[in-house]
Amino acid sequence: MALETRGMHLTLKELSKSFGTKTVLQNIDLEIKPGEFVAIVGRSGCGKSTMLRLIAGLDAPSAGGVFLNDEQSHQQINPTIRMMFQDPRLLPWQRVIANVELGLLGSNSKAYVRQTALQVLRAVGLEDRAHEWPSVLSGGQRQRVALARALTSNPSLLLLDEPLGALDALTRIEMQQLLENLWQEQQFTALLITHDVEEAVVLADRVVLIEDGQIGLDVKIDFPRPRSRGDAEFAKTVEKILQRVMTRQESDHASDYALDSEAA
């Protein structure tokens, strides 16, 4: 696996997206440094997945732009960006190894593709399941295969749309640790959508809250890693972000409270 820093520098400039008359994202300015891990939180329907789709080039902004390593993206598919979803989206008619090999696009030799896929499967702890069908794996194992597939091509940006949302609590914690380890090792830039504020504070360098189509909070998390959920500062930070999310859910008016983008 590559050890050099090669995370993507991602910048959103005055990014807006509307569907018909409904404005979902409005003038979003956000800079994510190479190798940074940023978590996006916010109430259901606030525009988190829409933001990820714009970054991935799967949808076009209504105004403003997405800049990948300082170059404006024009909806072309960028092979150094990979996505992972809540549903692992494995091909059931392909064995685990073949599913992982799908992550390696282009004209690589068969031997290279096989060797790389096995190496990444080893990194997610599933090398011994390489020749099985996805259907015999557990939900957590399938998500590990999806993570392996996303990482085979050494992405510079990994977009994670609630990838651990369907897992049980223990498997989820194990996957968080695996994701953190692989991110530290491979040094890609990571953007994680999650409904779980604790997960955001465990994993991210920054937690960004989207509300009313804008950035309501941008909180730097600088506790040492690996982070302990039992730590008093940790619990305080989670609580403050949660309070803000919940306050907003109960409020009908954006002007009911002031924006505070300094710290939670």
Ligand X SMILES: Nc1ncnc2c1ncn2[C@@H]1O[C@H](COP(=O)(O)OP(=O)(O)OP(=O)(O)O)[C@@H](O)[C@H]1O
- Residues within the interface to ligand X (CB under 6 A): 19, 24, 42, 44-50
Report in angstroms how near the CB of residue 163 gets to ligand X at its nearest: 13
> Shortest distance, CB of residue 40 to ligand X, whole angstroms?
8
Q: Measured from the CB atom, is 48 or 227 closer to ligand X?
A: 48
Nearer to ligand X, 55 or 146 (CB): 55
Q: Give the separation between CA 224 and CA 227, rounded to whole angstroms.
A: 6
Rounded CA separation 77/71 (Å): 14
State the minimum distance, in angstroms, from the CB of residue 42 to ligand X: 6
For 29, 52, 209, the CA distances from 65, given in Å and listed in that order, are 10, 13, 20
Closer CB to ligand X, 42 or 134, in the complex: 42
Q: Quote the strand ranges of the chain, DSSP E.
A: 10-19, 22-32, 37-41, 63-68, 71-72, 81-85, 157-161, 189-193, 206-211, 214-220
**Nearest distance from residue 210's CB to ligand X, in Å?**
7
Both structure tokens of 62:
């209504």
End-to-end CA distance of the chain: 36
Nearer to ligand X, 46 or 207 (CB): 46
